[in-house]
Amino acid sequence: MWVEAQNAVTNAYLSGVERRGAIHARLTALTDYERVGLPEKAGTRYLYTRNTGLQNQSVLYVANEVCDSVSDTLDGDGRVLLDPNTLSPDGTVALSGTAVSANGEYLAYALAESGSDWNTWRIRDVSTGADLPDEIKWSKFGGAAWAKDGSGFYYSRYDEPAPGEELSGTNYYQKLFFHQIGTAQTADTLVYERPDHKDWGFYAQVSDDGAFLLITATQGTDEKNRLFYKRLGVPGAEVLPLFPDLDASYDFVGNDGDTFYIRTNNAAPMYRLVAVDLANLAPAAWREIVPESESDTLRNVSLFGDTFIVAYLRDARTVLQTFDITGTALGEIALPGIGSAGGFGGKRNDTETFYAFTGFTTPSVSYRYDLTTGQSSVFRSPSVAFDPADYETRQVFYPSPDGTRVPMFVTHKKGIALDGSNPTYLYGYGGFNISLTPFFSVNALTWMEMGGVYAVANLRGGGEYGESWHEAGMKTRKQNVFDDFIAAGEYLVREGYTSPAKLAIAGGSNGGLLVGACMNQRPDLFAAALPAVGVMDMIRFPKFTIGWAWQADYGSPDNADEFAALFAYSPLHNLKKGTSYPATLVLTSDHDDRVVPAHSYKYAARLQEVQAGDAPVLIRIETKAGHGAGKPITKQIDQTADMYAFLVRVLEM
């Protein structure tokens, strides 16, 4: 009843905004463009996703490398392999994971319902499009890794939750299994578990040569991890430690026999690439391939033949470099501007790979990269109904109170007046080593068409400048993140972009926490706040679903020092009667089993109780949706239209 009553109040308020329909129509029109995902090659087949524009879920296609019909090739239309839109009338069943066998014969795919993190895995015959009877349930926070021979795949799962606790019960004791094609899940082989460590999670990889199983063992959301390995095809082989201590991050890139290539921040906060021989695992014996950079964060490495493709972050934008197997620099892969590039998936023996480039005014363009010539060519370029030349992006740097230099991207129509009159949407995250890099968004474009400024701040707690930047916003240092965000708002006001009466702040998940904490600490600086699916109760957050895992970043309420820091900024616990808070629209979903909606429910109810001014406090609760992944296009457009309608009214746009 409370949910229905709150939604009724919110809908009544938003229905009074005359421009709501026009905003919804424009969002719909701009979203209606073809989007094609990066192809993944397996055997002689390519798999990729495609959305014609307004399909609730993207469709999975398959194309052949060589065939009689051009339409079945990658340059043609391909063939529909799996259409999630046929699985539910409202688009709330989403394709949440895929893994194709090495020869391209079988596809393991995961489905999630109503935005839940729970996945159910099925197997589809790629040639016929028919499903096998296999079904894998209660998988979460892990993909699928096929054996080289295609006989089955490795996956992670939890025990079946108690009835009624599917969306709220804590997730402990993850286990790694192997599923043999054509057998029941009850017959799956337990590969690895650690009953002595209930908070360990497992992610499996199989090396390209099929000789090794790599098991990444995580502990909560800590950037550090352990790494184990098992020789495959060797009867009785045990799981052995490669890096058994939680002292750094270790990512397996590839191998030459018993020599493993590892991306790590061990003794290198900005990360480096090393070669490790299984015969001598001592750090002193490691061979450094690509050393740590003084200024650029080494974010990703791909290995093709004897060439490493290395993606760096330089002031939160992508730079691509290539190196040979010994670490000799081969040159840079040129990008068309300041933005973000990602992809470069594939197998060691591939002769091509694909990557995408995007920026705040550049819709994501896909490129095919020829690994033999080192040349890029456009694979797919979308057509969006706007002129990028009408907009500009600036990267600015501003000081936080302790003197730290913080970067921020500011995008808007060209020629705006810096007279403090521009409605401004300030977005941030600041946590879990996640970097906010330039990206194209129809939502941001619509906001700028409405005359708004769109700003993205690269706060401490993220990964923009390596592990030191991340650690500066963790645990008892979390206040640095809020200081950085508040300083971003002050900069935008000081430089004339906006004024407190026209400044809105927004963020989701950890970013929802950010918004809640900052509007508590500086209610005078912001006119509007949009905290989405936020972690708002910093004392009880470990008690639900995967919340315990976030203690790696936030700290533990059971630790006295960390409790004091958590309580000092907890959005729920720092709301004070008699304070005039910004106009607030809290956003959450009834099936969010990552940040359970009780966080937002309690925060909204308390804020409504203590609000002293006339600014509205509303909550919008989406039904049949979760934390965000897999949300149908229609629901995404509806939510954004409501957010902007709210801002039109409270910012008097």
Query: What single-letter amino acid sits at 200?
Result: W
Query: Known catalytic residue: 151?
Result: no
Catalytic residue among 24, 179, 599, 627: 627
Q: How far is CA 182 from CA 126, 306, 500, in A?
A: 15, 37, 62
Residue 600 annotated to the active site: no
| Residue from 592, 593, 600, 642 carrying the catalytic annotation | 592
Q: Is 582 helix (H, G, I), strand (E, B) or coil?
A: coil
Q: Provide the 8-state DSSP code for 115.
A: T
Q: 518 and 500 in contact (C-beta within 8 Å)?
A: no
Task: Give the DSSP H/E element, type plus range, for residue 612.
Answer: none
Q: Token digits for 224?
A: 């550090």
Phi, psi at 645, each rounded to 5°: -65, -40
Given a contact cutoff of 8 angstroms between Cβ atoms, the answer to whether 552 and 219 are in contact is yes
Helices (H), 399-531: 442-449, 466-471, 479-494, 510-521
Identify whether the C-beta of residue 425 lies closer than 8 Å to the C-beta of residue 360: no
Phi and psi dihedrals of 569, rounded to 5? -120, -5
Q: How far apart are CA 492 and CA 365, in angstroms?
A: 31
Q: What burial class does residue 10 get, using C-beta atoms within 10 Å of its C-beta: 0-12 exposed, 13-18 middle, 19+ buried? A: buried
- Take residue 53 and report the two structure tokens written for it: 């524009």
Triad 279, 282, 286: Cα angle to 5°? 85
Catalytic residue check, 24: no
- Cα separation, 423 vs 450, whole angstroms: 9
Backbone angles phi, psi at 644, to 5 degrees: -70, -35
| CB proximity list for 289: less than 8 A, separation 6 or greater | 261, 272, 273, 274, 275, 308, 323, 325, 326, 327
Q: Choose the catalytic residue: 114, 116, 156, 509.
A: 509
Half-sphere exposure of 102 (CA within 13 A, CB side): 19
Please list the active-site residues.
509, 592, 627
